[in-house]
Chains A and B, each alone.
Chain A
Amino acid sequence: MKGTRFRPLSLETPKPLFPVAGFPIIHHHIEAAAKVEGCCKGGGLLPKFGGRFVRLRALYHIQAAAKVGFPIIHRRIEVLQKKGKFPIIHHHIKDAAKDAAKDAAKDAAKDAAKDAAKDAAKDAAKDAAKRHIEAAAKDAAKDAAKAAAKDAAKDAAKAAAKAAAKAAAKPAAKTAAKRLLQRTAAAKAAAKAAAKDAAKRLLQRYIYLSVPAVQYTALGTAGGIYHFRDQILAGKPDYFFVMNADVCGDFPLQEMLDFHRSKPSGTFCTILGTEATRQQSLTYGCIVENKATHEIMHYVEKPETFISTTINCGIYLCSPAIFSPLEIEFKKNLEQNYNYDYTTAPAKEVIRMEQDIFVPLASSGKLYVYQTERFWSQIKSAGAAIYANRHYLKLYRKTHPERLAKNGAGKPQIIGDVFIHPSAQVNETAVLGPNVTIGKNCMLGDGVRVRDSVVLDGAVLQDHCCILDSIIGWNSTIGDWTRIEGTPNDPNPNKPFAKMEAISTFTFDGKLNPSITVIGSDVQVPSEVIILNSIVLPNKELSGCYKNQIIL
């Protein structure tokens, strides 16, 4: 998943980290998983990641996952790609170590200086000296902590010691100062050790996260799971979830777990399924089930003719027993690689979950489908992000009502579901909603109107401008009375179970298909113009109106 259909937004951020309803797409997966009972013990999280996961920004979801207690494993990070002299992984490790050292040094220096000062002060004979030392030590600790945060532990501790020694240079405090000096030296050593240790720990964690990802090619969903089998099975989980990052929905994970548990032991996998229209089912994995037991009788990925309206949602709950068919498949692949030449066969470890595992396992009594009628959609295009935004905001009514903006005196008028980041400044004459997300540090002027749109961090919407069915990129500026308008590609409301159409960018005769208007990051749109059904790439300074165009 490289997110090419998500450009130009994925030029700035890997698609899974694109914010929908105020949080990265993948954050919603993590939140859903965290709610499952016993998830940390029994489950794991395997985000399907690819392509451009090379930025420090990605540290975000490491933190997010750590918060809810998940080990997160990335697959196919192009870590061997070089950036400057070293491979990218080197930079990651370096940065991580630096951060760790910083933190550790800060803590260590602070503690050491504090302790030393305390002891020294206690030992000091005279009250005056005591007071003086205490003050000095406090300062020293402060300075040390500050300095340490900036540099490494070494410098920090030295500075602390120096400051303390200098302040304590009065004869009355001489002995105390000496001791302090000694203590600080000890602190210095301790800080150094602590920093080293912390860096090592983080390095280990990072390597654990990254090293298995040193791959030359994509592995396929199942190949990835097999590759990470040791990490997944660490701690002997009873089950684990596999979730594709490019879907959104109100995932019934707990219900899936309960359903899975009710099936005979030895069941490999429960697939989350949903209903689609006959026509649209052809673009998904189609499942034929035994209506009574929900066992999967037949599975076809993207069939040419109609098979079933039950489709695969890309959310799986697996028992560790799934590794046995994976292993068989893996070995079969290896064998084939011996016998055939590489050019025709897929790469060594590629095992596709759907075609290679589900298809042969259908009718074996090992695969089940759990059908949901809750909201679910793929997130392929930018238009889907607006659709996902609407549904995640709606979901907040149930899960996080505090995240939704409310009407009130001195506040902008809110219609329907709206998320406004607390740091955003929105004029009280603005009207927002329904289905609007306003990012961090955004500024919305007098009489601004936003509907069915996502405004990303740092964007500035000047007075009286009107934003409809659009995404406004990071740090872009929209002028006075300007109108930014797109065309939604929402599912056909007249058909039950209709999904979003994956429309192509251009029509047969080469015209741009009307879609959501996307303004890339750092784009300047002047006053009083209209940008209609267009895609503007980053860092452009527009000078007039644009309709149905891609602006390079």
Chain B
Amino acid sequence: MKALILVGGYGTRLRPLTLSCPKPLVEFCNKPMLLHQLEALVEAGVKHIILAVSYRADQMEQELKSVEEKLGITITISLESEPLGTAGPLALAREHLTNDNDPFFVLNSDIICDFPFKDMIKFHKHHGKQGTIMVTKVDEPSKYGVVVYDAECGRINQFVEKPQEYVSNKINAGMYMFSPAMLNRIELRPTSIEKETFPGMATDGELYCMELQGFWMDVGQPKDYLTGMCMYLTSLKKKNSSLLYHGEGVNGTALVDPSAKIGKNCRIGPNVTIGPNVVIEDGVCIKRCTVLNGAHIKSHSWLDSCIIGWKCVVGRWVRMENVSVLGEDVTVNDELYVNGGRILPHKSIAESVKEPQIIM
């Protein structure tokens, strides 16, 4: 079985992290985002994965070599010379997807959830039509395009973009399963699967949906990345995962790499991910943050809702909050306040960032 992952463009929404690392390789809960999906796909029996990429193919290819071996799968990179939207990449990868008659998965690369791939296969085979999409429930459907479907069998009636009045609270979760016949609907040009392909399929009665259980988050931007992290950790906790950290100074759910060092009198958590080789000095308080590989947090600092990039150094008595994101190798001097700052890689911050802003 095969899967196509829509990696797409530059990941601008997750800058400054994506300036140093292609988005699929940015760690989410101590694992590259892509790996969360790959592992779930492999578990569902997928052997061949096609990555639809429009930039940085070389770096991705190198990084993925070891993953291929480890998971015993084939990864093909399908490079777009121009961005092809969400449907175009399917047409581009047509030869890979049609070399047998099996259905295949298509995923947006930014989503995090308990991937229900096995259930999707079952459901898809059961209704026997061209496409299955996963839908998820949201609180404020007016912000999204919602899916109106038959609750009994799951057949989709229509899509409504940003509804003014309540019609449904289910939205497209960015995970699909298609039969190869569906590819006949897509031309090789920049085109949107949601806006151009799905409505036609729905009209023809070829599109079914299935509701996702548990958490779901599009983690394509820092704010949602942190929200998604909280959901993921909560789900780990529910599953009583042995991955969670229970060492000294921990306060609520936390994921700490065994190579990280944590000092005395710290308060770590809830909802904190600490990457490999991170050093946390004494008396540090961290809540709702991700600290990436090799970062160093000095004594008495206080961090809430931040992403600390690779090899950053955060000084003593620093206060960081409000979705501040430090790119790779940023230094924040002692006693500063960073409120919602997005700091580009390799910067040294010597003055407080009191209002949300981007530091070039």
Contact = CB atoms under 8 A, between A and B. Distances in A.
Nearest to B302: A481
Contacts of A449: 300, 316-317, 335
27 contacts: A446-B265, A446-B283, A447-B282, A447-B283, A447-B299, A447-B300, A449-B335, A463-B283, A464-B285, A464-B300, A464-B302, A464-B317, A466-B300, A466-B319, A466-B335, A468-B335, A480-B285, A481-B300, A483-B302, A483-B337, A528-B285, A528-B302, A528-B304, A530-B337, A532-B337, A532-B354, A547-B354
Contacts of A466: 300, 317, 319, 335
B299 to A, nearest CB: 6
Nearest to B303: A481
Given A464-B302, A532-B354, 11 more contacts: A447-B265, A447-B299, A451-B335, A463-B283, A464-B283, A464-B317, A466-B319, A481-B302, A483-B302, A528-B285, A547-B354
Interface residues of B, number: 16
Contacts of B299: 447
A414 B337 CA distance: 22
Contacts of A480: 285
A516 to B, nearest CB: 15
A483 B319 contact: yes
Contacts of B317: 449, 464, 466, 483
Contacts of A447: 265, 282-283, 299-300
A156 B317 CA distance: 58
A246 interface: no
B24 to A, nearest CB: 35
A478 B216 CA distance: 39
Contacts of B302: 464, 481, 483, 528
Contact of B285 (A429, A446, A481, A485): A481
Contacts of B285: 464, 480-481, 528
Interface of B: 265, 282-283, 285, 299-300, 302, 304, 316-317, 319, 321, 335, 337, 352, 354
Contacts of A446: 265, 283
Interface residues of A, number: 17
A213 to B, nearest CB: 47
A530 B283 contact: no
Residue of B282, B319, B337 ringed by the most chain A CB atoms within 10 A? B319
A468 B316 CA distance: 13
B77 to A, nearest CB: 46
B201 to A, nearest CB: 50
A463 B335 contact: no
Contacts of A463: 265, 283
A34 to B, nearest CB: 39
B124 to A, nearest CB: 49
B321 to A, nearest CB: 8
A435 to B, nearest CB: 14
Shortest beta-carbon contacts, A-B, top 10: A466-B317, A447-B300, A464-B300, A481-B302, A447-B283, A449-B317, A483-B319, A481-B285, A464-B283, A530-B319
B349 to A, nearest CB: 16
Interface in A459-490: 463-464, 466, 468, 480-481, 483, 485
A151 B302 CA distance: 55
B128 to A, nearest CB: 56
Contacts of B282: 447
